[in-house]
A and B are shown apart, each in its own frame.
Chain A
Amino acid sequence: MRHYVITGHARFSEGMASAVKLILGKKIPFVNAYVEGSEDYLEQVKAEIEKHSKHEDVIVLTDVLGGSVNNEMMKIAEQAKVHLVCGVNLAFVIQLLLADENRRVEEVIQETIEEAKEGLQYCNTLIASEELDEF
């Protein structure tokens, strides 16, 4: 099985987890940071990782590259079976959770990053060149 933990500044991760719950009906563990009770958020993330067998992949998701939360997570990024992805958006998290677990995790993460980048768009300038389909 593949596992996930999301973390980020203030209640970013809680909000992301609640959006994922609404859209997919799936719960993902989250760890808030720099709010009351989250002083030890790195420890909380570690505890979340340790719930799982050492042979199972855990993907840690964070809000922003270069932010202090991601900087903290870099301390655990090299642990075996831990994968760290920063700058996640909702499209990324959803596609990741829907990905086939039998595929290699490294490959899934790379591919999902490319897909999710497409989801960041300036709609005003976007010409809907896409056409509707026919059967």
Chain B
Amino acid sequence: MIKLVRTDYRLLHGQVAFAWTAHLGIDCILLVSDTLLDDPIRISSIKLAKPPGVKVVVKNVEESIQAIKSGTTDKYNLFVVCETVNGAVRLVEETGIQKLNLGGTKPGEGKREIGPVVFVSLEEEEKLKHLQAQGVYVYVQGLPEVKELDCKKILK
């Protein structure tokens, strides 16, 4: 069962590994990234940062979608962490998930901050609005302890 889908460019870090994982009773984290597997340094830090008793699986966007659709992930309390907004949008659309948490996204030129540490480009904003139009609840929430911000009021 998928407990949460989140975009977070830092993938596996303290807030993900400790706060959300404990809060949701997660036993498997899927890191969704098209670049991570080609980056040995990031991979070794992820191997070292695995929270005790939790599986950490890394897949690219396409393989992540296939894995979720195939049902192999059903037996887990799964936490899906997507590196990019685009990857997250594709995954949510293709798997029919109804909720997307925006955790942290990279700042950059032409991006605006729509919530604490969440930066989106115009193109990403369009895609997120499209998701909302399909009935997906898109919200900003960094930590379980802070209030959710519904993106309905935020996205232009």
Q: With A24-B145, A25-B146 known to touch, is A132 a contact of B22 (CB < 8 Å)? A: no
Q: Does A115 contact B (CB under 8 A)?
A: yes
Residues of B within 8 A of A128 (CB): 44, 47-48
Residues of B within 8 A of A47 (CB): none
Q: Contact: B57 with A130, CB < 8 Å?
A: no
- The chain A residue with its CB closest to the CB of B22 is A98
CA distance A130 to B145 in the complex (A): 31
CA distance A22 to B142 in the complex (A): 10
Of the listed residues A22, A121, A126, A135, the one surrounded by the most CB atoms of chain B closer than 10 A to its CB is: A135
Majority secondary structure of chain A interface residues (helix, strand, loop or mixed): loop
- The chain A residue with its CB closest to the CB of B145 is A25
CA distance A128 to B142 in the complex (A): 29
Residues of A within 8 A of B144 (CB): 25
Query: Which segment, of B1-9, B12-20, B83-91, B124-132, faces chain A?
Result: B12-20
Q: Contact: A24 with B47, CB < 8 Å?
A: no
Q: Contact: A126 with B143, CB < 8 Å?
A: no
- The chain A residue with its CB closest to the CB of B67 is A135
CA distance A26 to B47 in the complex (A): 27
- Contact residues of B between 28 and 58, Cβ < 8 Å to A: 28, 43-44, 46-48, 50, 52, 55-58
Q: Contact: B57 with A134, CB < 8 Å?
A: yes
Q: Does B73 contact A (CB under 8 A)?
A: yes
Q: Contact: A130 with B50, CB < 8 Å?
A: yes
CA distance A98 to B67 in the complex (A): 30
Q: Contact: A132 with B43, CB < 8 Å?
A: yes
CA distance A95 to B22 in the complex (A): 10
Q: Contact: B19 with A23, CB < 8 Å?
A: yes
Residues of A within 8 A of B18 (CB): 23-24, 94-95, 98
Interface positions of B (Cβ within 8 A of A): 14-15, 18-19, 22, 28, 43-44, 46-48, 50, 52, 55-58, 67, 72-73, 76, 142-146
A-B contact pairs, 13 of them (CB 8 A): A24-B15, A25-B142, A25-B144, A128-B44, A128-B47, A130-B47, A130-B48, A130-B50, A132-B57, A132-B58, A133-B55, A133-B57, A135-B55
- A-B pairs, 6 with minimum CB distance: A25-B145, A25-B143, A23-B14, A133-B55, A130-B47, A128-B44
